[in-house]
Amino acid sequence: MNIKQLGKTDLYVSELCFGALPMGPLQMGLSVDDGGRLLAKAIDSGVNFIDTAEMYGTYEHICKGIQGRSRDVIINSKSAACDYQTMEKSIRNALAALERDYLDIFLLHGARAGENVFQERAGAWQCLIDYKEKGYLRAIGLATHHVGAAANAAKEKELDVLFPLINKTGIGIMGGGVSEMLASIELCHKVGKGIYAMKALGGGTMLADIPGNIQFVREIPGVVSVALGMVKEKELAMNLKIFNGESLVPEDLADCKSGKRLTILNACVGCGTCVETCHNNALYFDPATPEQKKPSVYQDKCLLCGYCTKACPGFYIRLV
């Protein structure tokens, strides 16, 4: 497994980053024991980088997985906080939940935010800067789906790490397309920002050519690591083969092409919260069927991120 320096930080991360989102309650809801066991297997196989977030609900899984390995593993978390006090609470909660006296990387969780994210969340950003200066955070930055936000990250002197959405088809990119996001990544790379990438497989929607889609992102100049969500040992084994330069056989891909779909239960009351939450405009009320209360889904736009499931007040949304 290749280990690379993350920009100008003193962090050296594995090229394969373990994305913890799918194992949490927003998606597959693995038990702490099962999630921890899979994480431990990944770490023992050479993966030293884990990506999570406050909203993913996976801190317990990570704690279980890193038992006896905590100082050898680099953990990134993030918070959607908009003000200083809320971000401070998020940092302190992460420190306590992960049982650490410092965090390796902490990001503004700006999936839905636009190019003015640093101005709109100035208080939260200042909190990250302050907590890094106090020694609680080793590196800080931004997780974003937006081309303009990624470009503006290059201008932020205090920003160490950019975590952008990028994939071959452009699914999920906001404010532009593939070429525009690549240009934003290039700007950050030129000024020495550490970059690792999300959604190389479109959140599980681009499974027809898994090795090719991953390779596309690996070859982007400046991208040192690719975060991939995993919930099965077979997925982990396949990804380890890809990142270790080993050839795949058909059996490696057999259980990794069963994509999930977003489903809204008939009990939905049509409040519209999920429609407002979806940053990719994958949920909508169909004017052709006004009698239908629940929203419809553009499956080809859905990133399967699960953010809408958390937002739904009635728990009517499922990823199956």
Residue type, 264: I
Indicate whether 304 pLDDT > 90. no
Query: Per-residue pLDDT averaged across 46-65, rounded?
Result: 96
**Minimum mean pLDDT range among 124-133, 261-270, 309-318:** 309-318
**pLDDT interval class at 307 (50, 70, 90):** confident
Residue type, 67: Q
Tokens of 285: 């009320």
Indicate whether 91 pLDDT > 80. yes
Tokens of 233: 């040992």
The answer to whether 166 and 200 are in contact (CB under 8 A) is: yes
Q: How many CB atoms lie within 10 A of CB 46?
A: 15
> So what's the pLDDT on residue 202?
85
> So what's the pLDDT on residue 172?
87
Q: CATH 3.20.20.100: which residues of the chain?
A: 3-254
Secondary structure (3-state) at 173: coil
**pLDDT interval class at 249 (50, 70, 90):** confident
Secondary structure (3-state) at 18: strand
Indicate whether 205 pLDDT > 80. no
CA dist., res. 4 & res. 242, Å (int): 17
CA dist., res. 99 & res. 81, Å (int): 21
Secondary structure (3-state) at 79: strand
How many Å separate Cα 20 from the centre of its chain? 8
**Minimum mean pLDDT range among 4-18, 84-98, 109-123:** 109-123
> So what's the pLDDT on residue 255?
66
CB within 8 Å of 69: residues ≥ 6 apart: 40, 43
Query: Per-residue pLDDT averaged across 248-265, rounded?
Result: 74
CA dist., res. 61 & res. 41, Å (int): 13
Query: Per-residue pLDDT averaged across 143-154, rounded?
Result: 97
Does residue 41 or residue 110 have the better pLDDT?
Answer: 41
The chain-wide mean pLDDT, for the chain, equals: 92
> So what's the pLDDT on residue 301?
84
Specify the pTM: 0.87
**In which element (H, E) is residue 319 found?**
strand 317-319
**pLDDT interval class at 287 (50, 70, 90):** confident
Q: CATH 3.30.70.20: which residues of the chain?
A: 260-320
CA dist., res. 193 & res. 153, Å (int): 9
> So what's the pLDDT on residue 259?
58
Note the pLDDT tens digit of each residue in 259-281.
567 888 787 889 999 998 887 88
**Minimum mean pLDDT range among 150-164, 201-215, 296-310:** 296-310
Secondary structure (3-state) at 224: strand
Query: Per-residue pLDDT averaged across 11-39, rounded?
Result: 94
Note the pLDDT tens digit of each residue in 150-190.
999 999 999 999 999 999 999 889 999 999 999 999 999 99
Indicate whether 315 pLDDT > 70. no
Q: How many CB atoms lie within 10 A of CB 99?
A: 12
> So what's the pLDDT on residue 258?
52
Output the 3-class SS for 119-169.
HHCHHHHHHHHHHHHCCCEEEEEEEECEHHHHHHHCCCCCCCEEEEECCCC
CB within 8 Å of 86: residues ≥ 6 apart: 79, 124
> So what's the pLDDT on residue 70?
66
> So what's the pLDDT on residue 151?
98
Burial of 120 (0-12, 13-18, 19+ CB in 10 A): middle
CA dist., res. 55 & res. 21, Å (int): 9
Maximum CA extent, the chain: 57
**pLDDT interval class at 320 (50, 70, 90):** low
CA dist., res. 248 & res. 212, Å (int): 12
For residues 175, 180, 185 and 187, what is the CA-based torsion angle, rounded to 10 degrees?
-110
Is 260-320 a CATH 3.90.800.10 domain?
A: no
CATH number of 3-254: 3.20.20.100
> So what's the pLDDT on residue 257?
54
Tokens of 131: 């907590």
